Amino acid sequence: MRENIIENVQKYKVGIYIRLSKEDYEKPQGSESESVQNQRNLLIQYIKQNHLYIVDEYVDDGVSGTSFDRPEFNRMIQDIENKKINMIITKDLSRLGRDYIMSGYYTEQYFPLHNVRYIALLDNIDTYLDSSNNDIAPFKSILNDMYAKDISKKIKSVLKSKKEMGLFVGKEAPYGYQKDPNNKYQLIIDESAAMIVREIFERYLNGDGTKIIADDLSQRHVPIPSVHKKTNIGYKSPSYGLWNNTAIKRILQNEEYTGCLVQNKYNKLNYKSKKLVHLPEEKWVKTENTHEAIVDKKMWERAQILLERSKGTRIRNYDYLLSGLLKCYECKSAIGVSHKTGRSYSYGRCQRYTKYSKLGVCTPHSFNYFKLEEQIINMLRDFCNIYSDKSRLQLVASKSERKDREAELKEKIEYYTNLEEKENTKLERLYDDMLDNLISREDYKRMSDKVVKNRETIVQTKKSYEEQYEEYKSKTKSEDNKKLEKLIDEFLAMENPTKEIIGQFIEKIEIHQDKQVDIHFRFQPFSEMMESQNKDERRYA
Ligand SMILES: [Zn+2]
């Protein structure tokens, strides 16, 4: 250490600046020599030797040297501005900062401009002295800067090797997982969220769009990932948050749900900045089987294919009323509805054709979706009106009809009861005549046989009318008809029918190659109305 000779000691009001960085903590050796106490001892010793007057001490602990935005450094600059201090001493130049441009700015411009004398003890820098050592200051700064770059690289490479080993080094576990409390590098399943992840994959693969899934989760008050994370650590949130299709898509795209770790997706722009940049896929570090999977690999891959296919072709925020009901008549696969950017309408197309168009397994079956939707909704409305009118008429008609029929049957039963009694009287008389010897035993036998036979026919007829009468009295409406009537009332009251109610009327809609449309209703009366229609009315435009 060169002896600085300080003259006019009285004119200096000294501030000593001490900095201990994160890198210093991680250094295996030398950390002791960099400790706050060591830096302080060295500086105080120097001050004593030179009989200097110390005004304040500024200590930034655990702050990186690459940034100059440090609380105590800022306070020191403030004190310079307020003329509380006019001399700064640090152990070496690197304590001031590791960024040579900023260090240079302070040593060469800021301090001289504010009449501040700066001394870096171990580097023999004294801005007051016209010394050749000062010429080295900018150069020394460059060396410090290179050192910082080197450290930054070293820390990164340690992290990278941990990533390659499949250790989880991220700050937060992906939704559906949590860090193992016993091992922060290990992910374990967070079942309450994993359940939702599974549901999202299953529904997406079954044809629900990301928007539909998102809306449903929001309606069910399923907390969004950021809220879920807070509630997991005991924080009570007043709201569940709203899911959107981006959140669903992000979950569908995350390969980590298959049990592998995908790390190194982002990088800091450089060691001076906190900004993160996306890294290209080939730089990602992927390690298989690092934790328990939530969805299997095949499911995940299928989801990626669907996601890729939906890119730019679908209006994801539109829930098509008939989607899921439309089927290709020829190949039985689903009819997909999509919206091509630049076109003003959405169209339906056989998905098998779309998927394997090159193989020629089916034909497009293309049609203007909204035109068909309008036709079908109108038809459904017509059928509902016709049915409810008819059933109202039937109800009025059958009331009087039933009364007439009931009376008629009652009359007939009475008539045949009388006939039966007459036949019984005949038999009694025949028997008396025989006892009085008015007819022979043979004649009696012959005539009574005839009466008994006659009476049998009468009893049978009477019995059948009695049965009819009972049946009529007990006759009620069938359960199916009741359900249909209720549904019709509900549908006719709706201004805009929902997907759910349409699904209750219609089982499926088959689209033929020749543009014929078959609607398969769930209720017989509607199927009959459909059958009675002219075939040409059942074609789409
Ligand atoms: Zn087809």
CATH number at residue 219: 3.90.1750
Q: Around Cβ 428, how many Cβ atoms within 10 Å?
A: 9
Question: Does the residue 226 lie in any domain?
Answer: yes
pLDDT of residue 313: 47
Residue type, 58: Y
Most confident stretch, 126-130, 227-231, 382-386:
382-386
Tokens of 139: 């150069």
Question: Does the residue 35 lie in any domain?
Answer: yes
- Arithmetic mean of pLDDT over the chain: 80
* Domain shared by 203 and 111, yes or no: no
pLDDT of residue 526: 87
Mean predicted confidence (pLDDT) in 163-170: 64
* Domain shared by 127 and 247, yes or no: no
Question: Does the residue 48 lie in any domain?
Answer: yes
Mean predicted confidence (pLDDT) in 153-173: 63
Helix axis angle, 369-435 to 441-474, nearest 10°: 150
**Which of 284, 310, 336 is the last residue in one of the domains?**
310
pLDDT of residue 142: 59
Burial pattern 319-332, b for ≥16 Cβ within 10 A else e, equals ebbbbbbbbbbbbe
28-42, 53-67, 89-103, 424-438: range with lowest mean pLDDT = 28-42
pLDDT of residue 141: 59
Among 242, 244, 281, smallest CA distance to 264 is for: 281
How many whole angstroms from 382 Cα to the centroid of ligand 1? 29
* Domain shared by 222 and 83, yes or no: no
C-alpha angle with apex 469: 466 to 474, nearest 5 degrees? 130
* Domain shared by 69 and 184, yes or no: no
* Domain shared by 28 and 139, yes or no: yes
How many whole angstroms from 123 Cα to the centroid of ligand 1? 81
pLDDT of residue 49: 82
* Domain shared by 129 and 191, yes or no: no
Tokens of 284: 């990602």
238 pLDDT exceeds 60? yes
39 pLDDT exceeds 80? yes
How many whole angstroms from 383 Cα to the centroid of ligand 1? 28
Most confident stretch, 137-141, 273-277, 365-369, 388-392:
365-369
Mean predicted confidence (pLDDT) in 228-252: 80
Which residues lie below 8 Å from residue 150, measured CB to CB, with a gap of 6+? none
> Which residues are found with C-beta within 5 Å of the ion, ligand 1?
328, 330-331, 350, 352, 362
How many whole angstroms from 356 Cα to the centroid of ligand 1? 10
Rg (CA), the chain: 47
pLDDT of residue 102: 76
Beta bridge partners of residue 261, listed in sequence order: 287
Task: Give the DSSP H/E element, type plus range, for residue 283.
Answer: none
pLDDT of residue 32: 53
- pLDDT tier for residue 62 given thresholds of 50, 70 and 90: confident
**Which of 310, 345, 370 is the last residue in one of the domains?**
310
Higher pLDDT, 161 or 317: 161
What is the rounded distance in angstroms from the CA atom of residue 231 to the CA atom of residue 240?
A: 10
pLDDT of residue 80: 93
pTM: 0.34
CATH value at residue 21 = 3.40.50.1390
* Domain shared by 75 and 195, yes or no: no
How many whole angstroms from 183 Cα to the centroid of ligand 1? 53
How many whole angstroms from 11 Cα to the centroid of ligand 1? 94
What percentage of the chain's residues is helix, strand, coil (to nearest 5)? 55, 15, 30
Residue type, 504: Q
Tell me the H-state helices in 233-368. Answer: 245-253, 297-310, 351-355
Strand pairing class (335-339; 346-350): antiparallel
Domain that holds residue 49: 9-164
* Domain shared by 160 and 87, yes or no: yes
48 pLDDT exceeds 90? no
**Which of 140, 164, 188 is the last residue in one of the domains?**
164
pLDDT of residue 508: 92
What is the rounded distance in angstroms from the CA atom of residue 103 to the CA atom of residue 124?
A: 15
19-23, 98-102, 178-182, 273-277: range with lowest mean pLDDT = 273-277
* Domain shared by 183 and 224, yes or no: yes
Tokens of 380: 């459904």
* Domain shared by 15 and 149, yes or no: yes
345-349, 374-378, 419-423, 532-536: range with lowest mean pLDDT = 532-536
* Domain shared by 138 and 241, yes or no: no
Q: Are 403 and 472 in contact (CB under 8 A)?
A: no
How many whole angstroms from 228 Cα to the centroid of ligand 1? 43
pLDDT of residue 434: 85
151 pLDDT exceeds 80? no
- pLDDT tier for residue 329 given thresholds of 50, 70 and 90: very high
What is the rounded distance in angstroms from the CA atom of residue 327 to the CA atom of residue 348?
A: 10
31-40, 194-203, 240-249, 422-431: range with lowest mean pLDDT = 31-40
Most confident stretch, 9-18, 195-204, 344-353, 373-382:
195-204
How many whole angstroms from 331 Cα to the centroid of ligand 1? 4
pLDDT of residue 131: 46
How many whole angstroms from 42 Cα to the centroid of ligand 1? 85
Task: Give the DSSP H/E element, type plus range, for residue 372.
Answer: helix 369-435
DSSP codes, 77-106: HHHHHTTS--EEEESSHHHH-S-HHHHHII
Residue type, 341: T
Beta bridge partners of residue 17, listed in sequence order: 58
- pLDDT tier for residue 315 given thresholds of 50, 70 and 90: very low
C-alpha angle with apex 206: 202 to 207, nearest 5 degrees? 125
What is the rounded distance in angstroms from the CA atom of residue 225 to the CA atom of residue 223?
A: 6
How many whole angstroms from 349 Cα to the centroid of ligand 1? 8
* Domain shared by 136 and 232, yes or no: no
pLDDT of residue 362: 87
Between the two ends of the chain, the Cα-to-Cα distance in Å is 95
Question: Does the residue 39 lie in any domain?
Answer: yes
3-state SS class at 325:
coil
Question: Does the residue 392 lie in any domain?
Answer: no
Tokens of 541: 């435009």
How many whole angstroms from 328 Cα to the centroid of ligand 1? 5
Beta bridge partners of residue 520, listed in sequence order: 508
18-32, 66-80, 211-225, 297-311: range with lowest mean pLDDT = 18-32
Higher pLDDT, 261 or 474: 261
CA distances from 85 to 44, 112, 115, 152, 263 (A): 16, 13, 10, 33, 48
Higher pLDDT, 169 or 3: 169
Question: Does the residue 466 lie in any domain?
Answer: no
Q: Are 469 and 410 in contact (CB under 8 A)?
A: yes
Number of domains in the chain: 2
How many whole angstroms from 332 Cα to the centroid of ligand 1? 6
Higher pLDDT, 171 or 493: 493
Question: Does the residue 218 lie in any domain?
Answer: yes
Question: Does the residue 404 lie in any domain?
Answer: no
pLDDT of residue 240: 79
How many whole angstroms from 347 Cα to the centroid of ligand 1? 15
